[in-house]
Amino acid sequence: MRTKLEVVKRKRDEAGKGSLLQHNSADVSATNRREAPGERDLDNKELKKPVYERLPLDLNALGEMGRAVKLNLNGEEKIKEEESIKKHQINTYVSDKVSLHRRLPERWNPLCRELKYDYRSLPTTSVVIAFYNEAWSTLLRTVHSVLETSPNILLKEVVLVDDYSDRAHLKEPLEKYISGLRKVRLIRATKREGLVRARLLGASITTGDVLTFLDCHCECHEGWLEPLLHRIKEEPSAVVCPVIDVIDWNTFEYLGNSGEPQIGGFDWRLVFTWHAVPDYEQKRRRSPIDVIRSPTMAGGLFAVSRNYFHYLGTYDTGMEVWGGENLEFSFRIWQCGGSLEVHPCSHVGHVFPKKAPYSRSKALANSVRAAEVWMDEYKEVYYHRNPHARLEAFGDVSERKKLREELGCKSFKWYLDNVYPDIHVPEDRPGMFGMLKNRGKNQHCFDYNPVDEHVVVGQRVILYPCHGMGQNQFFEYSTDGEIRYNTREPAGCVVGDNISTYLTLQACKKRGQHIPPDQKFVFREDGSLYHVVSQKCVQAVDKTDNGTPAPSLQPCSDSLHQKWFFEERM
């Protein structure tokens, strides 16, 4: 993903003209068609004017044009830097040294530059930014970047919502600072509301046609707003997300790239995942700058028509603090007749912190609410992988179920079949999923702990005391004879290696593909797991080459160490 930083300055008329004619798409309708330079262009230049013009570019300034900041600190300054990271999980020491008005490198598809908009006919928007204990410079860089990239005639206001922060800089100093800024308003929650109710509180005082939500540590790329608003004008039931570029939490380098963006999915623990655009979606699109349909959204950055947001039932206000609302909203959009899209011409940077800066203990209850309301019988697939979720007190969801009724929303099966056909839906046959326990080595289970959450392949399967929490000890035996580790997406399949004798995980075959023979096991009546190509059986072994107990391929015998069974819970 990391692209070399380049500062490309191209004259407007230079690049892309010929290619534009070829790639120009149906998306480029009467309101953003390409025109010959002329009066209308000049007029547009005027209409495009942001709320504030940027300060003159100082290329020597730290972090300018999205460059990485690398300071060689020592002594006291180094300690200050480390403390700032501890406090915010973001290097705010560096952030504080970067201009609040810095420019970003051009990281969109060059075709995007050629899109023209009829500014007078685009809907207006209000930008809502909820924050909880955010650092000064990340918050204010977000605000300035909105004001300096959003056309004045399109931006009604920026509403900051303080979700009951307790840091001093967010009290009077913030009020004072923004009182000097046009179009910026601040509203404070009187108790910790969590991001869902904080955003709704902010939305309640807005006046724009479209609501645009941003996190409080973002930076907007030039031209980010128009594509979102244009798409919503064209299709009011579209909820449109910008491409989320990464701003490095440590160096503040802007890591956007102009290639095909990723879209959102989820795994069966209800964790949000990123994916490449699938082939069927590539085929449906007529141009690389057409919107991309996405099964889910990351959650923080999107635009939605105010009316449509209300029609859809805004948010589930029973959700606290953080988590789950993004999948809930994604399911609801699709199941209730809308569409969720990423616009490749809208880029916004987001600082992903080193780790969560505040407790997210409510995330589980939020996910359960989403599952209970939207997933029908598929909620069981989720519960199987998160047994403790069944015990979570998630409150009352009857109002949300009523909403689903009233809106006449479609089933989760419809959603999977039509919106997310790429996801593997586990079979979960009784007695064929859960912990894979050994009869000889008491209370030990198949266990797989990926070093990298995103690369679920390559490592060895081990044996570990059974914990009954699903997650790393969740396996499923499929009708095709695979032992699937399918809490995560894409799933990993157990592979037997005759030479090392140990089992590892490799990518499972995709639907319709042939299953590699070394991924095939026969789970026999007597509890043995027979590996077909090696003609050996899986045995629990204590003395492995690295000292960790692990399943290993051994000549078949009657030993209890070769007898296995699935158990759903302890």
106, 215, 245, 325: which one contacts Mn ion (CB under 5 A)?
215
Residue nearest to ligand UD2 (CB): 299
Amino acid of residue 390 = R
- Angstrom distance (rounded) from CA 269 to CA 258: 31
Task: Using the rule CB under 6 A, give the single segment among 150-158, 296-304, 334-342, 542-550 that binds ligand UD2.
Answer: 296-304
Task: Using the rule CB under 6 A, give the single segment among 112-120, 297-305, 420-428, 467-475 that binds ligand UD2.
Answer: 297-305
* 132 binds ligand UD2 per the rule CB under 6 A: yes
- Angstrom distance (rounded) from CA 89 to CA 72: 20
Phi, psi (degrees; rounded to nearest 5) at 412: -70, -30
**Residue located via tokens 């449109």:** 240
Q: In what order do the strands lie in the sheet with 550-554?
A: 521-523, 529-531, 536-541, 550-554
CB of 500 to ligand UD2, least distance (A): 39
Rank residues 215 and 316 by Cβ distance to Mn ion and give the closer one.
Answer: 215
DSSP character at residue 246: E
* 326 binds ligand UD2 per the rule CB under 6 A: yes
CB of 150 to ligand UD2, least distance (A): 18
* 219 binds Mn ion per the rule CB under 5 A: no
293, 332, 350, 441: which one contacts ligand UD2 (CB under 6 A)?
350
Crossing angle for the helix pair 363-374 and 398-407, nearest 10 degrees?
A: 40
Joined together, the tokens standing for residue 284 give: 């449906």
The CA R_g of the chain, rounded to the nearest whole Å, is 26
Phi, psi (degrees; rounded to nearest 5) at 560: -65, -20
Rank residues 131 and 433 by Cβ distance to ligand UD2 and give the closer one.
Answer: 131
CB of 73 to Mn ion, least distance (A): 26
| Cβ–Cβ < 8 Å for 203, 290 | no
CB of 125 to ligand UD2, least distance (A): 18
64, 106, 114, 134: which one contacts ligand UD2 (CB under 6 A)?
134
| Cβ–Cβ < 8 Å for 381, 428 | yes
Residue 435, binding choice from Mn ion, ligand UD2, none, Cβ under 5 to 8 Å by partner class: none
Residue 131, binding choice from Mn ion, ligand UD2, none, Cβ under 5 to 8 Å by partner class: ligand UD2
In this structure, the strands spanning 475-477 and 433-438 are antiparallel
Residue 476, binding choice from Mn ion, ligand UD2, none, Cβ under 5 to 8 Å by partner class: none
- Angstrom distance (rounded) from CA 494 to CA 518: 9
CB of 361 to ligand UD2, least distance (A): 11
CB of 301 to ligand UD2, least distance (A): 6
Phi, psi (degrees; rounded to nearest 5) at 74: -150, 175
242, 288, 323, 344: which one contacts ligand UD2 (CB under 6 A)?
323
DSSP character at residue 287: S
Rank residues 215 and 328 by Cβ distance to Mn ion and give the closer one.
Answer: 215
Residue 155, binding choice from Mn ion, ligand UD2, none, Cβ under 5 to 8 Å by partner class: none
- Tell me the torsion sign for CA atoms 459, 463, 468, 474: positive
Rank residues 52 and 352 by Cβ distance to Mn ion and give the closer one.
Answer: 352
27, 64, 106, 215: which one contacts ligand UD2 (CB under 6 A)?
215
325, 328, 482, 489: which one contacts ligand UD2 (CB under 6 A)?
325
Neighbouring-strand partners of residue 434: 475
Phi, psi (degrees; rounded to nearest 5) at 272: -65, 140
Rank residues 210 and 301 by Cβ distance to ligand UD2 and give the closer one.
Answer: 301
Burial of 420 by CB count in 10 Å (0-12 exposed, 13-18 middle, 19+ buried)?
Answer: buried
90, 292, 321, 389: which one contacts ligand UD2 (CB under 6 A)?
321
237-276 residues near ligand UD2, rule: CB under 6 A? 244
27, 114, 163, 219: which one contacts ligand UD2 (CB under 6 A)?
163
- Applying CB under 6 A, what is the total number of residues that bind ligand UD2? 22
3-state secondary structure of 307: helix
What contacts 24+ positions apart, CB below 8 Å, involve 464-471?
464/549, 466/435, 466/437, 466/567, 466/570, 467/570, 468/387, 468/435, 468/569, 468/570, 469/386, 469/387, 469/388, 470/269, 470/384, 470/385, 470/386, 470/387, 470/388, 470/434, 471/269, 471/385, 471/386
Rank residues 102 and 217 by Cβ distance to Mn ion and give the closer one.
Answer: 217
322, 433, 521, 564: which one contacts ligand UD2 (CB under 6 A)?
322
Rank residues 97 and 188 by Cβ distance to ligand UD2 and give the closer one.
Answer: 188
* 299 binds ligand UD2 per the rule CB under 6 A: yes
- Angstrom distance (rounded) from CA 382 to CA 421: 17
Amino acid of residue 308 = Y
- Angstrom distance (rounded) from CA 306 to CA 483: 47
181-200 residues near ligand UD2, rule: CB under 6 A? 192, 194-195, 198
Residues engaged in binding ligand UD2 (CB under 6 A): 130-132, 134, 163, 192, 194-195, 198, 215-216, 244, 298-301, 321-323, 325-326, 350
Residues engaged in binding Mn ion (CB under 5 A): 215
